[in-house]
Structures are given as structure tokens and as C-alpha cells.
Structure 1
Amino acid sequence: MPHPSLNPSPSLNPSPFTLFALMGIGILFPWNALITSTAYFQLFLGPSITFVISNAYTGSLFLTLVATCFKKGDGYWTVQVGYVVMLIPLLVLTFLKTPTVSSLSVIGCCVGVGDGLVQSSLFTVASNNGGQYTTAVMFGNGMSGLSVSFLKILCMAMVGGGGLGGEETSARVYFGVSSCVLVCCCFSAELSRRRGLFRVKGKEGEVEIEMIGLRGGGGGLEGEEEVRGERSGGGVGEQAKIYWSIVNIIRLPLSTVFFTFFVTLAVFPGLVSLIKPYSGSIGSDWFSVLLVTAFNSFDCVGRGGVSYFLYKVEGGDAWPNYILPRVVDGVRVVEGGEIGEGMLVLVLVLVLVLWLWLWLWLWLW
């Protein structure tokens, strides 16, 4: 049943969809700003600093997500703490005169930890309130990259993209805007809490999982499976059994999603760094910027537009919208359409072929 606070009312402004979209922007905006500023850091520390920041961020993000799988806290405070953990290093970067490897490593770890805390709770909270709010968070994710790209274009047009002065000014603009975005996200989370969006389903200390998932063997949807476990007091072993049961049910779409993100996040950054525009041609400085902007534009359409279309067509439960965040929290999953295993296998094969083709092309080129 929909929560009473979600009913349309003239007094509710902005809408819950807008609140979740704003909070979704805050998930990736700090990381996008940080990685976009690597040209400024390279002036002090060389090209290897990009590798250091990326590993510090992704490593801390992965460990945080793994840790939060087995220990669920209060969703509101987890989200707020995550935003604050990302906000503090961005404020430090805004006024940092000379960045060092150690300071940027710590900042990358802080952004990764904060990102993991926010993601682990925000997707769960959104899916608890309905599939459309998961779509809102995903749309916010896409908007974060697109916003940073347009911010990069604006800074290059106004202060130039080369030299220490231009790169330093641009980097400080990125960090300042990111800090303001995170402050807005904190206010959005507080407003969402007051409207009852950060609610917990089920009895205290217990979680029940009822799921209709994609089952192996037959290629279709069949039956209903229940997995029951204790949220508190069950131990890590019991929690691991619950999550493994969920992964076993959704293994095929889970693999498809994993390889899709693996391709986009692994191949594209290398492609951008390897492509060398003609030095001396008109607009050569803008080549990589426009390429990243094009990628972020289609990424935003893919995250928001396609998910929203599927949500409207399938009545709210098309699996790309909800399956990962919903099953982690154990709320009921209802199939929105007949998506056979054959189609999912085809998508997975196409993704793998694309990945191999791109790497072969880069190697030969």
C-alpha cells in the first residue's frame, strides 16, 4: 500500500520524486567532480595521480558496500553521514593550495566511503516507497555526470582549459558546486524524513523476503520463493545465506547488469585517455570534453529515460528499475513483464562481444 505521505497534495512541494532525484545527484556528483579535476592534479603530481585516486575511491566504495550488506543501520542517518563524509574532503579541496598524493588518496577514500553509505541506503529507501522512486535515484545519477560535463564546458569557455590558472579555477569551481549540491542533498534527506519516506517495513529486528524471480532451468518465471532471516542477531553467516539465496534466484539478470556496467566503466575511461586529437586542429582541446559529455548525455537517457519508459509500460515493475536495490532489502518483487532467459543471454553475449571488440580495436590501433 502506498504511504499516506506520498499521496498528492498541494502542500507537498517539491514532490517525493524530485527529492529522490536530488539525493541521487549527490551520489556521483562528488566523484565526477573529483575525476574531472585530475588535469589540475596532474600539473603537480603527474599522470599517475589519476590511477591513485581511482583505486582509492573504488576500493573504499567496494569495501563499504560489502560491509553494509551484513549490517543495516538507520537509513536516514546512513544517508546523512555519507553525504557529510563526502562534503568534508570537498571543502578541504576547495581551499587546498598544493595537493599531495597522500592527501588525494585520503580524499578519494572518503568520497568512496561516503558514496557507499549513501548508495547502500538510498536505493533501499527508494524501492521501499515504489519503483518510480528508484527510477528517480537512477535519473539523478545520470544527471550528476551530465551536470559536471556542462560545468566543465562552462569553465573552459570562461577561464580556458589550459595552464595552472585555468585548471585551478575550474577545479575550485567543481569542488565548490559539489559542496553546494551535497548541502542541498542533506536538506532533501531531512525533508524526506519529515514526510515519512525513510520508513522501515516489517517488524523491528526481522526481515521477510518474498520474491518472484527469474528461475534457472526453464527459461521463464515460475513460483514464489520465500527467504526468511534475522536482520539483527542472525550473524554474518545467516546474512550470507540469505544474500546467496537471492543471488541464486536473480543470477542471470545480475550477470547482465554486472557486465554492462563493467564494460562502460572499464572500457570508456581508457578509450577517452587513449584517443589523441590532432594537435593544432581547431577545437582539439574540446575533443575529449565533448566526448565525455556525449557519453554522459546518453548515460543520463539510459538511466532515466529508458527506466521511466519501462516503468510506465510495465506498470512499475520492469526488472531494470528495481531488481538489485529491492531484493537487497527484501521487499516483495513482482515481475513486470515476461523477459525470457534467451533475451537476457543475448544481451549478455552482445555486451561481451562489444567489450572484446573494443579492446581488440584499441590494441591494434
Structure 2
Amino acid sequence: MEPPKDKWNFVLLIFVVHGIGTLMPWNMFITAKSYFVDYKLSDNTNSTSSTTYASNFLQYHNFAAQIPNVVFNWLNIFVNLGGDLTKRIVFSILLELALFILTVILAMVDSSNWPGVFFWTTMVTVVLLNMAGGVYQNTIYGMVATHPFKYTGAVVLGSNICGLFVSILSIVSNSIFTSKRTAAIYYFITAMVVLLACFDTFFALPLNKFYRYNQLSRNSVDEEKKFKGSSVPYWAIFKKISLQLYNVFCTFFVTLAIFPSVHSDIKASSNNFIIQDPGLFTSVTCFLTFNLFAMLGSLTTSWVQWPGPKYLFVPVTLRIVFIPLFLYCNYLPLNVDRKLPVLISNEWAYWLIAIIMSWSSGYLSSLAMMYAPEKVEPKYQVKAGMFAAAMLITGIFAGILFSFLNPYLVA
């Protein structure tokens, strides 16, 4: 019989939605920096503790988010966390929904008299969100690995759409509502709506013939029941896909070493650029540019897959040059007396470099994630997809750690 087709790209679109959902908690909290720092933890009460929490919010958030994300991504490969693949996704989404309800409640109440309680409650929320997010993300990449590789690209595309979506959502909510409290409430409620869409569409997948065919034909159904403990050749799988794992790690390492830490601190060198406002300059040339072109890079893989798996490491490795290129732009980190000369002072040149970096991040990461499961036998593709997802978040974490060195490299 002829294999069933994905009518109207129904399954493909569902995986795009889940790609958005996997990074929703991270993007929602990191983009809401102004809400946490300038509103909830501001020094309006002249509280020293509020100022301390506000000034260190992003540092605490990054560690509270990335450490459990990395740990639970890797644990999910080797340990049965919450049952089979379906139960893991269901429990993860439900936990994230509950935590966003708590976040909305915290936005509704006046916490000015207890900033410490609010801060640490938020940090615990971030830890739990990213524990659930680590399992959710890792499991989704495992499940999609049994499908043609463009479906893995759909999840990566969704992840990149998420950043753009949240950036626009933040701008719109703050433009419509004059109250930061009201803007934050509707902002976080939108995240709940997206997660509910992920929850609902997930249960629609088993009803689709194309999805069932790929799950059954690749021997992935009840995979956790078939392979017990050491019977899964983890090391053999890791070695077979090691080149693609390097590609995933290196791509995200370079990207997060630059964005947003260096990228957002690059200032205009003259008053002649088309964007005059300093805040708008950063919003457009950094956040909007990265999210838009990373999304377009992921989308490009729908039509072009070059280079192939054997030579993908070449452009991936060459991307390391972006680190010194951005440092030689007009990068002015806060409270740092820059001594490294600015060699790229032209704003158009900087913007072009930013566009290439962003597009290549989306394009190369999608290719690497797509190629990884194809290197192993069909019955091991779920585990291969999980390894790739774990390496993705490990690259992000390593890039964030490296980014702390950037101010010292220019001082």
C-alpha cells in the first residue's frame, strides 16, 4: 500500500506549534525583563533588597532556567521520567500551565511589601518550568525523529517563531495597556493559550493516519517498554550521530555567546543611521533582526538542504568568527571601560553581520537537528532525536556561560 500523506500539512503544522510551545516559558520570562525589573522589583519603596533583586534578576533567571533544563534534557534520555513519551508531554504541559496560572496571580497582587518572597517564588517557578520544559522539549524531538526530517525542521522553525512571536506580543501588550500590571496579566495569559493549543493538538496526532504510519513503521510505539536499561545501545547511538551533535552544540554555543549579551549592547556609532532612537536601534537591529532571520533560516531548510551531513561541520565551525566580529563592533557593556579598538563602526556593516549570523543560526541548527536521527536505525531514531535536543540545550548553556567573559575581552 502507498504510505498515507500528510493532508494539508496537518502534522507538520502541529509540530510547528509544539516548537513554539517548547520555548514559550524561556522566551516569556526573558522578554518580560521590564515587568520584573522595572515594575515588580523596582525601588519605588526605597527597599535595598528590591534594588538588589532587580539588578541581579537576569543572572539569577539564566541559572534558574538553564541548569534544570540541561539536567532534565539529559536525564530524559536515560531515565523514564513520568511514563511513556505521551505521558511525559502531557504532564509537562499541565505543570507549565499550572505555573503560568501562579505567575498571573502574582501579577495581579501587590507584592511591593514583600519583594523577596516574590523574587524567590518567581525563581522557584522558573526552575520548575524549565524542569518540565526540558522533558517536554527532549520528548518532542524524540517523537518527531520518526518522521521525515523536515518535521524535525518544523519543530526548530517553531522554536524560532516563538522568539519573534513573544517579542511582538510584548510590544503590543505594552502599547495597548497603559498599566504594566494589566499588560503583564494578558501577556502571561497568552502563553497559557499557546500551551493549551499544544495540549489539544497533541491529542489530535494519534487520529492522523500519516502520524500513526510513521510511528508504527519506525518501531517507535511503546519504545520505552521494548528497550530496558542497558539494552539500548546509548554509546553506539551517540557515536553514530556525534558529528551532528557537534554541529548542534557549536551552532547554539556561538549564537548564545553573542545573542543577546553582546548583540544588545552594541550601540550606534554615529547620528546618521536610519534608526535614531537608541532603544529602537537595539530593538530592531538586535531582537527583531535575530528572531526574524533565525526563523527565515529555519524556513529555508524546507527548500534547500546544503551542505549535506558529511560537510555541515565546515560552515558550523566557521561561524566561530562571529564572536570576534561582534566584539569589534561598537560593543559597549555596562560599567566597562572598553579598550579594544572598534574596527566595525559602520551601522550597516554591523547590521549585515547580524543578519548573516541570525539566518545561519536558524538554517544550520535546523539542518543539524534534521540530519541527526537519519544516521541511525529507525528503531533508535527517538533516542537520536533526544540526544540532539539535549545537545541543543547544552550548547545554549555553554554559550551563556561564555558570554560572561565578553566584557573582559574588550576591557
Relative to the length of structure 1, the TM-score reads 0.71
Q: Is the 8 A contact 1:38 1:50 kept in 2?
A: yes
Deviation readout 1:32-72 (Å, 9 max, x if unpaired): 11111122211313121111121111111111111111135
Deviations 1:238-272 (A, max 9, x none): 54xx2222222332332222111011123212114
Identity of aligned residues (%): 24
TM-score, structure 2 normalization: 0.64
Higher relative contact order (CA 8 A, sep 6+): 2
Q: 1:322 aligns with which of 355, 364, 370?
A: 370
Mapping of 1:18-97 within 5 angstroms? 18-43=13-38, 44=41, 45-72=53-80, 73-96=83-106, 97=109
Q: Is the Cα–Cα contact under 8 Å of residues 25 and 142 in structure 1 kept in the other structure?
A: yes
| 8 Å Cα contact 2:146/2:220 also seen in 1 | no
Distance in structure 2 (CA, Å) of the matches to 1:204 and 1:267: 40
The equivalent position to 1:249 in structure 2, one of 236, 240, 249, is 240
Give distance in 1, aligned partners of 2:407 and 2:57. Answer: 26
Tell me the amino acid that sits aligned with residue 254 of structure 2: V
- CA gap of 1:64–1:325, structure 2 versus 1, over 3 A, is farther
Does 1:185 find its partner at 2:182? no
Distance 1:124 1:191, change over 3 A: same
* Paired amino acid for 2:368: P
Q: Secondary structure at the match of 2:79?
A: coil
RMSD across aligned positions (CA): 3.6
324-333 or 36-45: bigger deviation: 324-333
Residue identity in the other structure for 1:95: I
Assess, with a 3 A threshold, how the Cα gap between structure 1 residues 57 and 17 changes in structure 2: closer, same or farther: same
CA distance in 1, matches of 2:221, 2:250: 36
Alignment partner, residue 332 of structure 2: none
| Matching residue within 272, 278, 282 for 1:284 | 278
Which amino acid counterpart does residue 260 of structure 2 have in structure 1? Answer: P
Change (3 A) 1:263 1:231: farther
Cα–Cα, structure 1 residues 324 and 71, in superposed 2: closer, same or farther, change >3 Å? Answer: farther
Distance 1:289 1:171, change over 3 A: farther
AA matched with 1:171: A
Q: Shift in Å at residue 292 of structure 1?
A: 0.7
Q: For the residues of structure 2 that align with 1:7 and 1:88, how far apart are their CA atoms?
A: 33
The answer to whether the aligner puts 1:145 opposite 2:200 as a matched pair is: no
**Which residues in structure 2 correspond to 1:1-365 (within 5 Å)?**
4=4, 6-8=5-7, 15-43=10-38, 44=41, 45-72=53-80, 73-96=83-106, 97=109, 98=111, 100-159=118-177, 165-166=179-180, 168-195=181-208, 197=211, 199=215, 201-202=218-219, 231-233=226-228, 235=229, 237=230, 239=232, 242-275=233-266, 283-290=277-284, 291-305=286-300, 307-310=301-304, 320-325=368-373, 331=379, 363-364=409-410
Q: Deviation of residue 171 (structure 1)?
A: 2.7
Aligned twin of 2:319: none
| Alpha-carbon distance in 2 for matches of 1:203, 1:102 | 41
- 1:166-205 C-alpha deviation (Å, 9 max, x unpaired): 3x34332321111100001111101112225363542877
Q: Do the aligned partners of residues 56 and 191 (structure 1) sit closer, same or farther apart at CA in structure 2, a change above 3 Å counting?
A: same
Which structure 2 residue ranges, 5 or more long, are not aligned? 42-52, 309-365, 382-401
2:24/2:191 contact within 8 Å kept: yes
CA separation in 1, counterparts of 2:372 and 2:13? 22
Give me the whole-angstrom Cα distance separating, in 2, the residues matched to 1:22 and 1:145.
13
Task: Give, in angstroms, the shift of residue 74 of structure 1.
Answer: 2.3
User: How far apart, CA to CA, are the structure 1 residues paired with 2:171 and 2:2?
Assistant: 42
Misfit runs of 4+, over 6 Å: 203-207, 356-362
What number of residue pairs does the alignment pair up?
303
- What one-letter code is carried by the residue in structure 1 that aligns with 2:29? L
Q: Quick one: structure 1 residues 149 and 134, their matched pair in 2 at CA, closer, same or farther if it must change by over 3 Å?
A: same
1:1-43, Cα deviation, whole Å (9 max, x unpaired): 9864x453xxxx6711111111211111221111111222113
SS at match of 2:261: helix
- Does structure 2 conserve the Cα–Cα contact (< 8 Å) formed by 1:60 and 1:112? yes
Could you give the per-residue CA deviations for residues 67-100 of structure 1, whole angstroms, max 9, x where no partner exists? 1111354222222222122211112111213362
